[in-house]
Amino acid sequence: MAPRTEQAGRLVLVRHGQTEWSRTGRHTGRTDVELTEEGERDAAALAGPLAAFDVGLVLTSPLARARRTAELAGLTGAEVDEDLLEWDYGGYEGRTTAEIRETLGHPWTVFADGVVPGDSPGETVEEVAARASRVLVRVAPVLAGRDVVLVGHGHCLRVLTATYLRQEPRFGAHLVLDAGSLCVLGREREQPALLAWNARTTPEA
């Protein structure tokens, strides 16, 4: 179990299990793809580590890959929060970084360069951070006494972490987050802190 700090509750982030698109590096924003068999196994394996937390609230993205991960991980009573949707990649939806770079002719990243409109307008990193801020405001009262679990997507959760740590949203570029992993955020001497990151288990107290 992750150690408690001055903040009574801990914020536990769970990225959904593997999908075929995440396995092949395709940007998966609002496309509703299912977990692979490996993704389902990874999600189920999180049930043990998550049982160590005193969970007062579970929020999940409305997309199937996140809701299925919450179910397999034993997170009952999960509430859907639209603000946990993945970054809207606009015209880059379904494309890999290599494909986008080949088209643009320079070393593009979503954090540094953003997206272009496509079937949807896409989002800026600041718009993703605004959604993350709303989630953090929503969970703050519960964190006063219990733990909160958020089940969502790689880029959105990385931006949320940057926001929690009081960093610029683009700081999320430095936080690698694998499919089927969990992270724990809390406090250390009144400061927001990473207690565990990109883990399959939680550190012992």
Active site residues: 16, 86
Starting at the edge strand found earlier in the chain, the sheet holding 11-15 runs 79-80, 55-60, 147-152, 11-15, 182-188, 191-199
In angstroms, the CA 33 to CA 21 distance is 8
144 CB-near residues (< 8 Å, 6+ apart): 8, 9
Instruction: Give helix 154-164 / helix 125-143 axis angle, nearest 10°.
Output: 70
88 within 8 A of 121, measured Cβ to Cβ: yes
The tokens of 124 are what?
Answer: 């800026």
Q: Could you give the 3-state DSSP secondary structure of residue 113?
A: helix
Q: Are 73 and 4 in contact (CB under 8 A)?
A: no
The secondary structure element, H or E, covering residue 39 is: helix 37-45
CB 190 within 8 A of CB 6: yes
For 42, phi then psi, to 5°, come to -65, -40
